[in-house]
Amino acid sequence: MTDRVLIVGAGAIGGVTAARLTRAGCDVTVLDAHVEHARLMTDPGLLFDELGTESLVALNAVSSADALVGPFDFALVFLKAPYIEVALSPLLERGLVEHYVSFGNGLVQQRVLEVVGAERFMVGIVEWGATNLGPGHVRQTTVAPFFVGESDGTVTARLERLARVLEHAGDVKMSTDVYGQVWAKLLLNSTFSGLGAVSGMVYADVMREPHGHELAFALWTEGHRVASTLGVTLDNVAGVNADRLVVRDDSDVPGAEEALAELMARLGPTKASMLQDLERGAATEVDVINGGVVLEASRLGLPAPLNQGIVDLVHACEAGARSPGPDALDVLHQILAQ
C-alpha cells in the first residue's frame, strides 16, 4: 500500500518537494494557508523551475485543514517557526496524521516536538536550496540530499518507510545522529543565511565582500563552540567537514578557506530563506536560527555577540528601521573588532 503524504507548508522547499513527489506518482496532498498559492498549485499547477528547466506540476493543494481527507502516513512539515502550532493543532485534533517529520530551520524541531508529541515526531534536514518566486512559482537552486532520523538515533521501520518515500524526491540519507546534522545545518544557516539576510545577497556574493570570509569564519566558530560544549558531534555540511570551517587562530585560515570554497561551489547560489521573508514582509525565523545559537550560548555561559548582532539587524529589518544591504556587514565587523 502506498504511503499517503501531506506536505504542510509549500513555500520554496516544501513546494519543490511536493512537485518532485507528485511527479514521481506518490500520493501527495499539499496544505498551504496562502489561498492564491494553493489555487494556482492545483490549476494550472505549480510552476517548477528545476535548475533551469521549467515545468508545470499539478498538485492536490488546499488552503484549510478542514478540506483534508485523511488519514496520512506522513506529514512533512516545512513550516516556519511562528506558524507551527496554529497549523498542526487542527491536524492533531482530527487525528489526520500518523507521523510528523519536522524539516524546519534552526532549532524549530523542539517546537514541533512539543506540539505533536515524541511518539509521532521525526526529524528531517534539507541542505539544498530553493526560492519562492511568488504564488504558484518556485525554483530549486542547488542540489544536496535529504537527511532523516529518529530523535534517539535508532533505525526504525517507519524511518525506512520515510526514506523510501523521499527517494522519489532526491537522494536520502538515514542518520543515526540526527542532532549532529541539525546542528550542522544550524551552523550553515546561522552563518550564511544570517549574513545573506542582513546583506541582501546570495551566499557566494556575501563571500565576495571585503569582510565576508572573516565574518563567516567567526560566526561559524561561535556556533561551533556552543555545539561542542553541548557535546554535539557535528555531521558534514554539503559534504564538507564542519570542523574545517573553524578558525581559532591564523594557522586555521588556509584549511578554512579550502573548506569554504568547496561549500560555495555547492551552495553559493542559495538565497537565504530569511532574506526571502524580509523581501516579502513576512516574519523571519531568526529567533530559532541565530537566536537559537544565542539562547543555547546563554544557557552555557558562552558569548555569541555576532549571532546576537544578526538577530538585532534582522529584527530592525522586520520593523522597517533598516533594509538588507552590505552596510550590515560593516556593523558586524565592528562587533567582531570589539
Q: Return the CATH number at 216.
A: 1.10.1040.10
Output the DSSP codes for 127-178.
-S-EEEEETTEEEE-----EEEE-TT----HHHHHHHHHHTTTS-EEEESSH
Where is the domain boundary, 152, 176, 200?
176
In a shared domain, residues 224 and 138: no
In a shared domain, residues 258 and 149: no
Greatest Cα-to-Cα distance within the chain, rounded to the nearest angstrom = 60
CA pair distance 48, 33, nearest whole angstrom? 19
In a shared domain, residues 94 and 167: yes
In a shared domain, residues 161 and 45: yes
Q: What is the pLDDT of residue 235?
A: 87
Where is the domain boundary, 148, 176, 204?
176
Q: What is the pLDDT of residue 129?
A: 85
Where is the domain boundary, 122, 150, 176?
176
Domain ranges, residue 95: 4-176
How long a stretch of residues is the chain? Answer: 338
CA pair distance 193, 198, nearest whole angstrom? 9
For residue 231, how many other CB atoms are within 10 A of its CB?
Answer: 6
Q: What is the pLDDT of residue 27?
A: 97
Q: What is the pLDDT of residue 1?
A: 58
CA pair distance 257, 209, nearest whole angstrom? 15
Q: What is the pLDDT of residue 105?
A: 79
In a shared domain, residues 327 and 284: yes
173 is written with which cell numbers?
A: 540519507
In a shared domain, residues 131 and 70: yes
Residue ranges of the chain whose pLDDT lies below 70 = 1
In a shared domain, residues 164 and 201: no
pLDDT digits (tens, 9 = 90+) for 243-262: 999 999 999 999 999 999 99
For the chain, what is the domain count?
2
130-134 sheet: strands from edge to edge: 53-57, 46-50, 137-140, 130-134
Q: What is the CATH number of the domain that holds 54?
A: 3.40.50.720
Q: What is the pLDDT of residue 154?
A: 95
CB neighbours of 28 closer than 8 A, spacing ≥ 6?
A: 5, 6, 7, 18, 21, 22, 59, 60
Record the pTM: 0.83
End-to-end CA distance of the chain: 60
CA pair distance 119, 57, nearest whole angstrom? 33
In a shared domain, residues 95 and 243: no
CB neighbours of 187 closer than 8 A, spacing ≥ 6?
A: 220, 223, 224, 227, 234, 237, 242, 245
Alpha helix segments (H runs only) across 177-240? 178-188, 194-199, 203-207, 212-229
In a shared domain, residues 130 and 185: no
Handedness of CA 61, 66, 67, 70 (dihedral sign): positive
In a shared domain, residues 220 and 204: yes
CB neighbours of 7 closer than 8 A, spacing ≥ 6?
A: 14, 17, 18, 21, 28, 29, 30, 31, 75, 76, 78
In a shared domain, residues 231 and 285: yes
In a shared domain, residues 34 and 80: yes
